[in-house]
Structure 1
Amino acid sequence: MINKIGKITVYVKDQEEAKDFWLNKVGFTLKFEQAMGPGMSWIEVGPSEEEFTTVVLYSKAAMEKQNPSAVAHPTIIFSTTDIESAYEKMKENGVEVDEIKRMPYGTMFSFKDQDGNNYILREDK
């Protein structure tokens, strides 16, 4: 029935700051951007042009007006094939990262975006 994850919405205080974070610090690609009205855009970013799944950087203030209960932030787990390289690149780019954790079920670390939202990056081999 469900065969892909299409979009994950992250509610952000400042869309331009969030776009800068995801493009210039995490290395994502801008997949789509369209104005939605005064001071607000629909912005989608993703790991590459080829990747189907995107992260939507949506205005937190707009969503709080539309549907306040929807603003809870889910845990999002991103994947990489080289955890060490990703960790060093994020640190170099000024991303707040926790120490790498090596667990029996995988190697990972958590990081925060410009609004303090937490994410996990896990190595897939």
Structure 2
Amino acid sequence: MAAGIIPGAISVVVSPLVADVLLPDLSPTSDEGSGRRRSRRLRLQWTPAPRNPSRVAGRDDNSTKTHRIPDHRIKENNIMDLKLEVLVIPVSDVDRAKAFYEKLGFRLDADFPAGDDFRVVQVTPPGSEASIIFGTGVSAAAPGSAQGLHLIVTDVEAARAELLARGAEVSEVWHDADGVFHHAGTANRVAGPHPDRADYGSFASFEDPDGNEWILQEVVTRAPGR
């Protein structure tokens, strides 16, 4: 592209990545008597910034929008955390269930009634990051059908004694004859804690007023990665 030069003015020739700027030379050595002005050329070059690999393009390649992925969500295996937050259990009498769990020491987080046909109650076991929800209109399952809800404790005998004192009917401590988790119901139960008091091997169980089953499981030292 050509550009005319006007004395005392600035002329710019621009390409997509390079700009040539012609500046008038105002120094005393310029040819004042000749009627000509000298000019100086200044070249400006733009270098595109590298793309950030942690930015992901928008819905299409032509979009100018980008979405920043927070560093704490970028995992080595590219899988986002999936944290178990709530288990819904079916009950027939909401107030009775609420009183039972509060008596056991569960924290009452919420009790939201919304008319006669919908009510949400959330309680959380002591020290747990996961909660349970029960109420009216929150589950289609039969009351008492929740089975095998595990509460992890560091001393199953002490936990049993505390729950008994709070009014729960807790079984004697038992372990499974096969030593790997436990069978459904009462099959293969052997009285007493695990012979070696191995982690994950000693249990006790109780039920809420509707028959939803809870199991205490003793874990002192978690297995690697857990």
Q: TM-score range by the shorter chain?
A: 0.7 to 0.9
Are 1:57 and 2:134 matched, yes or no? Answer: yes
Equivalent residues in 2 for 1:46-85 (5 A)? 46-48=124-126, 51-59=128-136, 62=137, 67=140, 70-71=141-142, 72-85=145-158
The answer (yes or no) to whether the contact 2:119–2:138 under 8 Å persists in 1 is no
AA in 2 matched with 1:7: V
From 111, 120, 125, give the equivalent of 2:215. 120
Tell me, yes or no, if structure 1 residue 86 matches structure 2 residue 159.
yes
Cα deviation per residue 1:6-44 (whole Å; 9 max; x = unaligned)?
1101110111110111111x2110112211222642110
List, as ranges, runs of 4+ consecutive aligned residues in structure 1 with deviation greater than 3 Å. Answer: none
1:36 aligns with 2:36: no
Could you tell me how far apart the structure 2 residues matched to 1:41 and 1:63 are? 8
Matched residue SS, 1:37? coil
Match of residue 89 from structure 2: 10
**Paired residue type of 2:154:** T
* Distance of 1:90 and 1:74 partners within structure 2: 18
Q: How many residue pairs were aligned?
A: 117
- What is the TM-score normalised by the length of structure 2? 0.46
Determine which structure has the larger strand proportion and give its number.
Answer: 1
Distance 1:40 1:91 in 2: 32
CA distance in 2, matches of 1:16, 1:39: 14
TM-score (normalizing by structure 1): 0.79
Higher relative contact order, chain-length normalized (CA < 8 Å, sep 6+):
1
Q: What's the secondary structure of 2:105's corresponding residue?
A: coil
The secondary structure found in structure 1 opposite 2:98 is helix
Q: Give the structure with the larger helix fraction.
A: 1
- Write out per-residue CA displacement over residues 56-95 of structure 1, whole angstroms, 9 at most, x where no aligned residue: 0133xx357xx4xx44424211111222221011112221
Identity across matched positions, percent: 28
Q: Give the RMSD, CA atoms, in angstroms.
A: 2.2
Q: Which consecutive residues of structure 2, in runs of 5 or more, have no partner in the other structure? A: 1-79, 175-192, 221-226
In the other structure, the counterpart of 2:170 is: 97
Other structure's SS at 2:161 match: helix
Q: Secondary structure of the equivalent of 1:12?
A: coil
